[in-house]
Amino acid sequence: MMNRNRNSILIVDDEKLNIIALTHILTEDYTVYAAKNGSDALEIAAEYLPDVILLDVLMPEMDGFEVLSRLKSNEQTKEIPVIFVTGLNTPEGEAEGLALGAADYISKPYSSAIVKLRIRNQIQMLNLLNMTRHLSVTDQLTGISNRRDFDYRMRLEWERASRDRSFISLLLIDIDKFKAYNDSYGHLQGDSALQIIAEVIACSLKRSVDFVARWGGEEFAVLLPATALSGALSVAEHIRKNVEHAPIPRAGGPPTRVTVSIGVNSCIPEPETLGHEFVIGADQALYDAKAQGRNKASAYRGVLSQEPADDSETPAPSCDCGPACECGCQEGKECTC
Ligand code: GH3
Ligand code: MG
């Protein structure tokens, strides 16, 4: 059975003996795929997304340079590091490979130690890159997405909704009287509360496309693609109740609780618009929820909320909560749990 935690290598070479030799060197440490021509290599790379590709340069039909440039022009495969392994030992060949975006170049004849070390270098760089990417989009305290990731997702989903003429909804969630909570229990306890609230909000979202981020301080943002206002208000109410009932453990005392106020905005974005006013609308609704006494979800009803009287004008996706769905929705109807 394949070990999914192992890094994987794709060997591309038209000489069967070369594939056997490299497989022999690598199979102990890596999951190895092999392709004996360029078109098979492109297919395997797109399907299995290996961590590193070892690519022969001289192959009939499609040579290694062509394979590399096709890998680079495919969104899915363009970031996979490619190491040329070749007997074409000319400075021009090496320069051409590196100029096309090859990560490294191994000349034949090679030693197994060199092959292993060059691959290890690429894997180490890959791990570093993945860690940096993860850190750049993650909120350190709560482990959910950060504001930068939210802004990115918001742009994507806004454009998608505009293209598809479908609804998008946004919840802005703010912890009530959190300054007083910090003053009473201390900032470390406040940090624990933020961690628990983040988890409660994340667990309250049922669709895989729903997205939560820490907006900043004691505010969170939830993006609900393909969801109209009535559905968004149901999700907001579900979150509000879950937070209200979530015990926040405290050392040396009984568990504490906090409540949240939630501003909700929903619209079908007009083409060529930005989501800036939409966010301001949700913020305005949050302000209203606070003004109405807190621990409330309020909808923005300004010019950007263009929901028709009948939600069914935009078909909502079917519920994907499975049999455990709490709201009792039926297939084809919008899930509001
Ligand atoms: P309201 O109900 O009007 O939102 O009142 P509030 O006290 O929650 O609002 P205010 O804006 O006055 O205070 C926000 C507080 O959130 C102040 C700040 O100490 C706390 N806060 C923001 N970020 C963090 C954090 O990372 N950790 C902790 N412990 N507290 C934070
Ligand atoms: Mg607050």
Q: pLDDT digit string (tens) for 260-285?
A: 999 999 999 998 888 999 999 999 99
Looking at residue 314, what is its pLDDT? 41
Q: How far is the CA of 135 from the centre of ligand 2 (A)?
A: 26
- pLDDT value of residue 313: 35
Residues 39, 70 contacting (CB under 8 angstroms): no
125 and 159 co-located in one domain: no
Q: What is residue 271's predicted lDDT score, i.e. its pLDDT? A: 85
**How many angstroms does the Cα of residue 305 sit away from the middle of ligand 1?**
29
Q: Facing residues of 211 across strands? A: 223
> What is the CA(278)–ligand 2 centre distance, in A?
21
Q: Which DSSP state fits 145?
A: B
Q: Looking at ligand 1, which atom is closest to the CA of residue 187?
A: 29
Residue 109: what pLDDT? 87
- The structure tokens listed for 7 are 């890094």
Q: Which residue lies with its CA nearest to atom 18 of ligand 1?
A: 179
- Are 214 and 327 contained in the same domain? yes
The closest residue, in CA terms, to atom 22 on ligand 1 is: 217
The torsion defined by the Cα of 55, 57, 63 and 67, in degrees rounded to 10, comes to: 30
Q: Which tens digits make up the pLDDT trace of 114-155?
A: 999 999 999 999 999 999 999 999 999 999 999 999 999 999
Q: Which of 101, 135, 169 is the last residue of a domain?
A: 135
| Total tally of structural domains belonging to the chain | 2
Ligand 1, atom 26, lies closest to the CA of: 217
Burial (CB count <10 Å: 0-12, 13-18, 19+), residue 45: buried
pLDDT of residue 334: 41
The answer on 152 and 128 residing in a single domain is no
Ligand nearest to the CA of 215: 1
Q: Which residue is closest in CA terms to ligand 1's atom 23?
A: 217
Residues of the chain where predicted confidence (pLDDT) is lower than 70: 1-4, 303-337
Among 179, 185, 248, 286, say which to mutate for ligand 1: greatest number of ligand atoms within 8 Å of CB. Answer: 179
3-state secondary structure of 249: strand
Do residue 111 and residue 194 come from a single domain? no
Residue 93 pLDDT: 78
- pLDDT score at 108: 85
What pLDDT was estimated at residue 327? 38
- Whether residue 32 is found in the same domain as residue 160: no
Q: Which residues contact 167 (CB under 8 A, 6 or more apart)?
A: 161, 226, 227, 228, 229, 266, 267, 268, 307, 314, 316
Strands (E), 13-143: 31-35, 52-55, 82-86, 104-107
Gap from CA of 234 to ligand 2 centroid (Å): 21
Residue 140 belongs to a domain = no
Residue 303: the pLDDT is 53
How many Å is the Cα radius of gyration of the chain? 26
How far apart are the CA of 217 and the centre of ligand 1, in A? 6
Q: Closest ligand 1 atom, CA of 175?
A: 8
Residue 4 has what pLDDT?
59
C-alpha 215 to ligand 1 mean position (Å): 12
For residue 233, what are the CA distances in angstroms to 167, 245, 270, 280?
Answer: 13, 18, 22, 17
Structural domain containing residue 52: 8-135
For the chain, the farthest-separated pair of C-alpha atoms sits apart, in whole angstroms, at: 76
* pTM exceeds 0.85 for this model: no
Pick the last residue of a domain from 78, 110, 135: 135
We report the CATH number of the domain holding residue 187 as 3.30.70.270
215 lies in a domain? yes
Whether cis (ω within 30° of 0) applies to the bond prior to 109 is: yes
Residue among 218, 261, 292, 295 to mutate when testing ligand 1 (max atoms within 8 A of CB): 218
Q: What is the CATH number of the domain that holds 77?
A: 3.40.50.2300
